[in-house]
């Protein structure tokens, strides 16, 4: 959109900084804080609200004049200004303004977990917006909009983006003296107090788990809650105690700590070990350390060895498996990045077609399973965020569907399973098929470069989602699992990808021959020794990720380490190849 299209006296003619449009990420909108003016937030949020007002109720629509909920995390810019150039922050205030501008009644549900907000909205047929940067770096933030039925899905994004351009033109074209925004894209009125907070959503979320699991569900368990700056840090403690656990708090931080539950490095593990050691010294036996990411929709679970006190991290994809086995669904949906132990264990016959990465894709997969007649459907991501696509029943109790990532449900389900089986968390996870995973990433890795790597090692515009190589040649599948007959050109392209990738994933680094490739989301490489290496740029930040799977934890760790090593690990050398 060119400024030349606006008259000299318009807001657009006075803006000091050209806008960098806020983009949809894996789930929600995320961007660098320097680009997140209150004007940019209002443009996008108002467009989303007006789009939702155009939908029928049955499709998640909302109605002018109705209540619309919002909440926010503990990231400073979510609800306060940060000084600097350019000045940024008070994103929740921008959301509250957009809600009012759309003719809705803004209801402030305070600092609560994203799933608590979504649950409250969906259970009352209302839309909602969560201001959060989740786990991404401090210099970023964003927000996530929910329809009255749940998350925005991928098919909503194109019509919303068209609406964004319409709203942008309307606000930018407004006479500067009539606009509420100044040259910096901030409200001319300056700091604004948010509306009075309601604690009803937090209470409803806690009640959801107390009613389903019962007051004795976790009785006898002794837990450390690593609080850091997670928005649900106090609510998680409250819920665990309601269910009978002894919960000790540790590691509370008043400065923001971006915890990525998929990327727990050695330094973070050492910090958690120190917290566990301190808790054992003060309180005696500790069974587990639990936590969440910043907006409390992804769990972090570590067992504590009864003899040595050593903590043991459990990857989110394995956490999801244990939680699902405890909840006993008749269908499960996971993205392609999840640990392939799911294809070997007790859930293997329940797995639907694997999806792209991101909760909207998992939600769409759960809905497809439900439409096929499945009665009890759940899903999860590699980060452990757990979604329920239908009601779930256990011990005569029913848990309502919550089709968004949730951290509390898998934490409780895993702990309940260990208690029911009278084993430690280590013993519980040792019963899974022996497949081990590790995720790692390179930060400040341009997304465009990551996408170029994926494009370079994919078979063009082919409809092939998965291809397996043997002495008989290539067998291929479409995204829906249907068999394809690859053309001569596709076979040539697959041979080229296999040969070129083999020059980076070498026998010297411990890899076998490449015998499979998957292109559902990024490039997932299968080796004949059982190793898996999955390359994918993040949807929310300039990061290139690797998901590694192997028959031992040491090997999975080694794959991830060799990929992200500096300055000349596999990912850096792949980047050089496409430069």
Alpha-carbon distance 160 to 144, whole Å? 13
Residue by residue, what is the 3-state secondary structure of 391-405?
Answer: CEEECCEEECCEEEE
**Among residues 557, 578, 568, 562, which one has the least CA distance to residue 500?**
578
Q: 365 phi and psi, to 5 degrees?
A: -65, -40
At 440 the pLDDT is 92
User: How far is Cα 556 from Cα 465, in angstroms, rounded to an integer?
Assistant: 24
418-471 pLDDT per residue, tens = 999 999 999 999 999 999 988 899 999 999 999 999 999 998 877 999 999 999
CB 102, CB 118: distance < 8 Å:
no
Pair type for strands 331-333 and 377-380: parallel
**424 phi and psi angles, rounded to 5 deg:** -75, 170
Question: Is 225-433 in the same CATH topology as 3-198?
Answer: yes
Q: Residue 521's closest CA among 482, 560, 466?
A: 466
Q: Where does residue 60 fall: left (phi above 0), alpha (psi -120 to 50 degrees), or beta otherwise?
A: left
Catalytic residue status for 134: yes
487-513: per-residue pLDDT in tens? 999 999 999 999 999 999 999 999 999
Tokens 């006190």 -> residue? 309
- What's the CA angle centered on 166, arms 184 and 19, to 5 degrees? 25
Contact of 524 with 465, CB cutoff 8 Å: no
CA distance readout (Å), 272 to 93, 292, 319, 461 = 35, 13, 18, 45
CATH class of 437-578: alpha beta
Q: Residue 438: is the preceding peptide bond cis (ω within 30°)?
A: no
For 287-322, b/e burial (b = at least 16 CB within 10 A) is bbbbbbbbbbbbbbbbbbeeeeeebbbbbbbbbbbb
Is-contact 224 230, C-beta < 8 A? Answer: no
Q: Which of 282, 321, 299, 498 is nearest to 406 (CA)?
A: 299
Question: Could you report the per-residue pLDDT of 339-363, keeping only the tens digit for each?
Answer: 999 999 999 999 999 999 999 999 9
DSSP 454-469: HHHTS-TT---SEEEE
Residues 205, 109: Cα–Cα separation, whole Å: 12
The per-residue pLDDT of the chain, averaged, comes to: 96
Cα–Cα distance list, 566 to 250, 508, 533, 569 (Å) = 33, 18, 18, 6
Catalytic residue selected from 78, 79, 134, 416: 134
Residue 419 backbone phi and psi in degrees, to 5: -65, -45
Which residues fall within 8 angstroms of residue 469, CB to CB, at 6 or more apart? 494, 498, 514, 515, 516, 517
Give 30's strand partners. 23, 142
CA angle 305, 310, 315 (to 5 degrees): 85
Residue 114, exposed/middle/buried by CB under 10 A (0-12, 13-18, 19+)?
Answer: buried
Burial of 282 (0-12, 13-18, 19+ CB in 10 A): exposed
73 exposure class (CB count in 10 Å sphere: 0-12, 13-18, 19+): buried
Q: Check whether the bond before 86 is cis (ω within 30° of 0).
A: yes
What pLDDT score does 163 carry? 98
User: Token pair for residue 570?
Assistant: 């596999």
Position 2 scores a pLDDT of 59
Q: Which two tokens stand for residue 281?
A: 């010294």
Interatomic CA distance for residues 61 and 51, integer angstroms: 8
Say how far apart CA 399 and CA 393 lie, in whole Å. 6
Q: Which fold has domain 3-198?
A: Alpha-D-Glucose-1,6-Bisphosphate; Chain A, domain 3 (3.40.120)
State the DSSP H helix or E strand holding residue 303, giving kind and residue range, or none if neither: strand 299-304
CA distance 395 to 143: 37
* SS3 of residue 316 by DSSP: helix
Q: Which CATH architecture has domain 225-433?
A: 3-Layer(aba) Sandwich (3.40)
- What's the pTM value of the predicted model, to 2 decimals? 0.92
**Structural domain spans, the chain:** 3-198, 225-433, 437-578
Cα distance between residue 230 and residue 232, in whole Å: 5
Count CA atoms closer than 13 A to 243's CA, side-chain side. 28
Alpha carbon dihedral 372, 376, 382, 384, in 10-degree steps, equals 160
Going by C-alpha positions, the residue among 437, 448, 320, 461 that lies closest to residue 386 is: 320
CA distance 223 to 415: 10
Distance CA 529, CA 548 (A): 13
The pair of three-digit structure tokens given for residue 458, joined into one six-digit string? 């994919």
Provide the 8-state DSSP code for 440: E
Residues of the chain whose pLDDT is less than 50? none
């Amino acid at each position: 959109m060119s400024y030349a299209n606006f008259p000299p006296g318009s807001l657009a003619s006075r803006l000091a900084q050209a806008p960098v449009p806020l983009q949809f990420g894996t789930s929600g909108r995320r961007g660098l804080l320097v680009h997140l003016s209150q004007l940019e937030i209002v443009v996008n949020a108002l467009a989303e609200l007006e789009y939702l007002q155009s939908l029928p109720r049955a499709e998640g629509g909302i109605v002018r004049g109705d209540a619309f909920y919002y909440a926010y995390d503990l990231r400073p810019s979510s609800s306060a200004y940060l000084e600097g150039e350019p000045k940024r922050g008070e994103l929740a205030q921008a959301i509250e303004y957009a809600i009012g501008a759309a003719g809705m009644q803004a209801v402030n549900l305070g600092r609560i977990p994203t799933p608590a907000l979504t649950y409250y909205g969906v259970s009352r047929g209302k839309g909602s917006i969560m201001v959060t940067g989740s786990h991404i770096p401090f210099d970023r933030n964003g927000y996530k909009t929910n329809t009255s039925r749940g998350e925005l899905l991928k098919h909503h994004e194109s019509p919303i983006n068209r609406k964004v351009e319409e709203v942008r033109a309307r606000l930018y074209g407004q006479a500067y003296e009539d606009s509420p925004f100044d040259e910096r894209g901030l409200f001319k009125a300056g700091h604004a107090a948010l509306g009075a907070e309601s604690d009803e959503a937090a209470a409803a979320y806690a009640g959801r788990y107390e009613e389903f699991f019962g007051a004795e569900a976790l009785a006898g368990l002794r837990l450390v809650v690593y609080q850091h700056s997670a928005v649900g840090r106090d609510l998680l403690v409250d819920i665990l105690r309601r269910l009978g656990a002894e919960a000790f708090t540790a590691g509370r931080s008043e400065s923001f700590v971006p915890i990525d539950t998929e990327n727990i490095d050695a330094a973070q593990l050492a910090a958690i070990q120190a917290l566990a050691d301190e808790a054992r010294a003060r309180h005696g036996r500790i069974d587990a350390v639990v936590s969440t990411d910043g907006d409390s929709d992804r769990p972090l679970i570590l067992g504590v060895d009864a003899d040595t006190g050593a903590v043991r991290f459990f990857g989110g994809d394995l956490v999801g498996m244990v939680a699902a086995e405890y909840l006993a669904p008749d269908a499960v949906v996971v993205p392609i990045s999840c640990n392939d132990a799911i294809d070997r264990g007790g859930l293997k016959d329940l797995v639907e077609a694997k999806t792209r990465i991101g909760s909207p894709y998992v939600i769409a997969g759960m809905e497809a399973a439900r439409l096929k007649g499945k009665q009890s459907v759940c899903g999860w991501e590699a980060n452990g965020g757990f979604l329920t696509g239908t009601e779930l029943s256990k011990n005569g109790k029913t848990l309502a569907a919550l089709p968004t990532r949730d951290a509390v449900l898998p934490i409780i389900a895993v702990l309940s399973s260990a208690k029911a089986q009278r084993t430690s968390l280590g013993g519980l996870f040792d019963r899974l098929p022996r497949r081990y995973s590790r995720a790692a990433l390179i930060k400040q890795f341009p997304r465009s470069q990551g996408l170029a790597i994926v494009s370079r090692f994919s078979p063009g515009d082919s409809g092939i989602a998965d291809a397996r190589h043997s002495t008989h040649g290539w067998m291929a599948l479409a995204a829906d699992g249907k068999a394809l007959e690859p053309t001569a050109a596709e076979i040539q392209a697959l041979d080229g990808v296999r040969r070129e990738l083999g020059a980076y994933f070498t026998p010297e680094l411990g890899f076998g021959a490449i015998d499979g490739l998957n292109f559902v989301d990024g490039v997932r490489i299968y080796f004949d020794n059982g190793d898996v290496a999955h390359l994918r740029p993040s949807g929310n930040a300039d990061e290139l990720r690797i998901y590694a799977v192997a028959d031992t934890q040491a090997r999975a760790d080694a794959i991830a380490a060799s990929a992200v090593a500096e300055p000349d690990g596999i990912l850096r050398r792949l980047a050089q190849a496409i430069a």
